[in-house]
Amino acid sequence: MNSHLRKDIENLKIRLFRLAAAVEENTRRSLKALRTLSTALADEVVKADIDIDRAEIETEEECLKILALHQPVASDLRFVITVLKINNELEHMGDTAKNIAKRIAFIKAEPPCKIPFNLEQMSSRTLFMLKSSLDAFSMQDSKLAIGVCRDDEIVDSENRECYSNVRRQIAESPESAPSLINYLLVSKSLERMADLCTNIAEDVIYMRHSIIARHNLDKAASQIESEESNDRV
């Protein structure tokens, strides 16, 4: 029984990895376009999001097909539900990359200003979170997933710092306000992206341990710890 289900689950996995790769690549290009203020690259990012949206719908349809035809249970059920959720997070992430790309033309049109946050640091942290959350999914690694959730706090604080810097810089040089507001939106997008990575990591924890880690990571982490120490015994 169920060689069909195995095959469909393998195909679903491949489909999700393809989508994840596309989103990761588009996010990288979006941040590169921001660093170099390349509107041509930004346009490519916006166009590529159409393919991401289509892939998201196809993956969702595949999940629904598996649920309807195979009625999976236990680890298979958790896998399909997790893919359904991660698929959604990835699509949002694609939109966020697109939103960052859309800011570039506005930033370029305004007089240059000092970027109110450490763009390099915040983008590489967010990209690292994205890569780690997807690795956690492919390797079913809950420790890596917990690490991603913890990193989210750092990105949150970077975004808060950006807000303070924007307020201060606008007070010092009001003519920079339009650019600064656009950078603040970029910072907010990166913070949103980190939130989505955290959601993926929480989905991985659910898939692996059937524990809902949302809103209570510490409790989930200690449950996982005790579960794993029981397994070792």
Partner 1 sequence: MTTLVQERKNKHIQNVQNSPVMTSADYVITARDFSVYYGEYKAVKDVNIALNRGKVTSIIGPSGCGKSTFLRCINRMNDLVPGCRTTGKLMMEGIDLYHKRLDVVELRRKVGMVFQRPNPFPKSIYDNVAYGVRLKGRPPQTQLDGIVETSLRRSGLWDEVKDRLKSSALGLSGGQQQRLCIARALAINPEVLLMDEPCSALDPKSTARIEDLIAELSGEYTIAIVTHNMQQAARVSDYTAFFYEGVLVEFGETSKIFTNPKNEKTNDYITGRFG
Q: What would the x/- binding string for partner 1 be over residues 55 to 84, using CB under 8 A?
A: ----------------xxxxxxxx------
- Cβ proximity to partner 1, 34 vs 220, nearer residue: 220
Asked if 1 is part of the footprint of partner 1 (rule: CB under 8 A), the reply reads yes
**Residue 227: Cβ within 10 Å count:** 14
Q: Give the separation between CA 65 and CA 195, rounded to whole angstroms.
A: 29
Nearest distance in Å: CB 162, partner 1:
41
Nearest distance in Å: CB 10, partner 1:
14
Contact residue for partner 1 among 138, 210, 216, 226 (CB under 8 A)? 210
- Cβ proximity to partner 1, 9 vs 23, nearer residue: 9
Nearest distance in Å: CB 147, partner 1:
23
- Cβ proximity to partner 1, 5 vs 144, nearer residue: 5
Whats the size of the chain, residue-wise? 233
On the 0-12 / 13-18 / 19+ scale of CB atoms within 10 A, 168 is exposed
Do 206 and 145 touch, CB atoms closer than 8 A? no
Instruction: Please compute Rg for the chain using Cα positions.
Output: 20
- Cβ proximity to partner 1, 15 vs 78, nearer residue: 78
User: Taking each helix axis from N to C terminus, what angle separates 142-172 and 177-209, rounded to the nearest 10 degrees?
Assistant: 170
Do 18 and 125 touch, CB atoms closer than 8 A? no
- Cβ proximity to partner 1, 93 vs 204, nearer residue: 204
Nearest distance in Å: CB 194, partner 1:
28
Q: Give the separation between CA 172 and CA 168, rounded to whole angstroms.
A: 6
- Cβ proximity to partner 1, 157 vs 210, nearer residue: 210
Nearest distance in Å: CB 72, partner 1:
7
- Cβ proximity to partner 1, 81 vs 127, nearer residue: 81
Nearest distance in Å: CB 231, partner 1:
10
Cα dihedral 126, 189, 211, 154 sign: positive
> According to CB under 8 A, which residues from 87 to 106 bind partner 1?
none
Nearest distance in Å: CB 87, partner 1:
20
Distance from the first to the final alpha carbon of the chain? 34
Do 19 and 86 touch, CB atoms closer than 8 A? no
Q: Give the separation between CA 226 and CA 223, rounded to whole angstroms.
A: 5
